[in-house]
Amino acid sequence: MENILLYIIIALGLSIVLNIFLKKIGISQIIGYILTGTIIVYAFDLREAGHSHELEMIAEFGIVFLMFTIGLEISLAKMGNMKKDIFGNGLMQVGFTSLVVYLAAHFLFGLDNQPSLIIALAFSLSSTAVVLSYLKASKEIYTPYGQSATGILIFQDIAVIPILILIGFLTTEGDESVSTILLHTLSSAIIVVGVLLTVGKRVVAWLLRFSASSDLDELFMGSVLFIVIGASLFAASMGFTYSLGAFVAGMIIAETKYHHKVEADIAPFKDILLGTFFVVVGMKIDVTLFIEHIGEVIGFFLLVLMVKMLIIFLLLRLSSSSANSLKTAMLLSQVGEFSFVIFALASSGGIIESDLASLLVLIVVFSMIVTPFFIAQISPFVDSIIKEKDVVTDMSALAQKEDHIVVCGYSVVGKFVTKHLEELGVEFVVIDNSNKHVKEALTDGIECYLGDASKSSIVEALHVEKASAIIVTLDNITKKRLICEAVLKVAKNANLIVKVVSLEEKEQLADLDITTIVDAKVEVARVLVERMITCQLNYR
């Protein structure tokens, strides 16, 4: 026991030192965790510990909490708004990449059907942890190419669930045909997701409401952990992965008003456990094997990189500009962290030979180590070789603004608002999440930025704490509430003015500290009466 505690404290201290150093030179902390695992194994001769079932179980909950936070990010409403990027581009990317890799693995390298299928599916995935961490930190997540990359990553993360379930069926139903296994996978997943979205939705809503009313943070946090782990155990008890339950639980909470609080509270647990997952990955690295096969590792990595980049570029070029397509393709060309899980499960289930699995893991590790070094250079590199004008996304100039007005939305009402503000000579900026609306505003000579105002990073970039007012003109009540929550989270005393169109909308916003709620119907009635009185006075 004493030795275990010693190893843990050394790993913790080493990871902190490494990540502080890597952070200063702009490298992802994932690399620090992986290096920590490798150093600990070779320093204390703990190679067998890297394959400990108990340690792998703890590490797996890093993926569980990652999938939960991904579920928080992609509520059913958001999936509807991003359906083109998620279900269009995402489906085509995973499908075509898997097909090409499968054909290469089966016919060029002579692997059997099942190993070829698993390798193809694993290599079709990109690194959510690396890419989204960079996009959020650089605030490029709301650029056109950032949105495309996010949509594809969301589909890949959703696809992980049936892939892991498929592996489970392949290991238990090895004699069944692929079509039968896929049918079992789909039907079983529908049952589990259906139960969680019906019964689980009511339980989650009641539990969060009950714990939030207690005004005790530890009870609310305990309720969230109970929901995540309970949903994970339920999915596992039905023969599925822990991640499936956590992912659906996240989607359920994303539909509630507690979404942002849960996301903030759960972040430390997710980051610590995800760090543990990557430490365990580092413990599995065979340095001797890597040195012996360094040529093969680098060669296969470059091959996968070029194939994925070409496929994603060609697919996105059908509906997007060359610059955005190339940026997205380069951003998603690496292999992701979920491939570790896929190869580990496939190896333990006998689908892939252990030697091949070890080589594949080295390719993935090499991919994730290399990616942080070039990911920040993608946008400048593409902009230097492809000259295309795009909507404004750089909000750095707003840092100098004070007492400005932020107008959220440039649709019909937003256009009238900006017209009146121009007549008054008031300084204002517009934020909109639609390329079309932003281009219209720029054409009209208005300072407008592309971004989702319901995201804290965008709200912070707009410097709402310095603004004299924030006017929300959108029609979608869900989006209006999210924007208000994000603004009030950054600036509690913000002068927030929101348009509503019904009493129901007004009631849904009643619990927020909104300065002024403007009821469109009431204002129309007031104007009608004022005009009537004016007409009568003029007539007399």
Beta strands in 419-495 (DSSP E): 428-432, 448-450, 469-472
Task: Decide: pTM greater than 0.75.
Answer: no
User: CA 118, CA 102: separation in Å to the nearest integer?
Assistant: 8
Decide which of 362, 385, 408 is a domain's last residue. 385
CA-CA distance, 73 to 474, in Å (whole number)? 20
Indicate whether 73 and 167 sit together in one domain: yes
**Shortest CA distance to 382 belongs to which of 312, 331, 329, 327?**
327
Same domain, 375 and 446: no
Instruction: Give tens-digit pLDDT for 473-509.
Output: 888 888 888 899 889 888 888 899 998 888 888 888 8
DSSP 396: G
Same domain? For 168 and 112 the reply is yes
CATH code of residue 225: 1.20.1530.20
Note whether 9 and 61 are same-domain residues: yes
Task: List strands edge to edge, sheet with 496-500.
Answer: 448-450, 428-432, 405-408, 469-472, 496-500, 516-519
User: In the structure encoding, which two tokens stand for residue 276, read together?
Assistant: 């543990």
Q: What is the domain-level CATH number for residue 484?
A: 3.40.50.720
> pLDDT per residue over 445-454, tens digit each?
788 888 888 8
Residues 480 and 510 in one domain: yes
- How many folded domains does the chain comprise? 2
Same domain, 143 and 52: yes
Residue 158 lies in a domain: yes
Q: Using CA atoms of 351, 353, 356, 360 in order, give the dihedral in degrees to the nearest 10.
A: 40
Would 391 be classed as within a structural domain? no
With beta carbons less than 8 A apart as the criterion, state whether 418 and 430 touch.
yes
**Strand, helix or coil at 293?**
coil
Considering the domain architecture, whether residues 372 and 491 belong to the same structural domain is answered as no
Q: How far is CA 257 from the centre of its chain?
A: 19
Mark whether 501 and 404 lie in a shared domain.
Answer: yes
| 339, 357, 385 - which closes a domain | 385
117 assigned to some structural domain: yes
SS3 429: strand
Structural domain ending residue among the three candidates 385, 417, 442:
385
Give CA separation, 375 vs 29, 40, 95, 138, 345, in Å.
14, 28, 24, 11, 29
DSSP state of 386: S
In this structure, of 123-137, 235-249, 250-264, 379-393, the range with the lowest mean pLDDT score is: 379-393
200 and 70 in a single domain? The answer is yes
Shared domain for 403 and 483, answered yes or no, is yes
**What band does 102 get if pLDDT is binned at 50, 70 and 90?**
very high
Q: Is residue 206 one of the residues assigned to a domain?
A: yes
- Which band of pLDDT confidence, cut at 50, 70 and 90, is reported for residue 11? confident
Burial status of residue 346 (CB atoms within 10 A of its CB: 0-12, 13-18, 19 or more) = buried
Residue 390 lies in a domain: no
Asked if 372 and 413 sit in the same domain, the reply is no
Please indicate, yes or no, whether residues 402 and 302 belong to a single structural domain of this protein: no
Q: What is the pLDDT of residue 310?
A: 94
- 3-state secondary structure string, 197-265? HHHHHHHHHHHHHHHHCCCCHHHHHHHHHHHHHHHHHHHHHCCCCHHHHHHHHHHHHHCCCCHHHHHHH
The helix/strand/coil state of 431 is strand
> Does 242 fall in a domain?
yes
442 lies in some domain: yes
Range of the domain at 530: 396-539
CA 513 to chain centre: 28
Q: Is residue 75 part of a domain?
A: yes
Per-residue pLDDT for 12 more than 70?
yes
